[in-house]
Amino acid sequence: MITSTDNRALSKALLFHPSRSGFNGRDIYRPFFNSKGSDHHYVNMGRWTTVIGVLISVGTTYLVMQFASIMDYVQALFSFFIAPLFGTVVLGMLWKRATGPAGFWGLLCGTLSSVSMWS
């Protein structure tokens, strides 16, 4: 039973990486950085973003190993991102004068202040 659960998680992880490379190439890289590239260029960029994403995920495992448990790590991540995101969403929904740039800067400053208070 544990083996089937591991296989299921691994197959989902392997499906995630190719879809992310297509998303990065089509939806982020092409419109914002290089709109006149060839298909070969976009395929190569998708492959490189997949390799970089895998390296980042491997590096993250070493960061997680420094916590006492996985729950401590998850709680730290939630404290960094969920509270500022909640405040930004609530202000954006309830205050008519809220703008997109104000929401971005509020979310960025809230996240950075959460990280600075933690370390």
Q: Is the pTM of this model over 0.85?
A: no
Which residue has better confidence, 94 or 27? 94
Greatest Cα-to-Cα distance within the chain, rounded to the nearest angstrom: 54
- Of 117, 108, 111, 116, which Cα lies nearest the Cα of 80? 111
pLDDT of residue 14: 52
- Give residue-wise pLDDT tens across range 53-107: 888 888 888 888 888 888 888 888 888 888 888 888 898 888 888 888 888 898 8
- Of 108, 101, 71, which Cα lies nearest the Cα of 87? 108
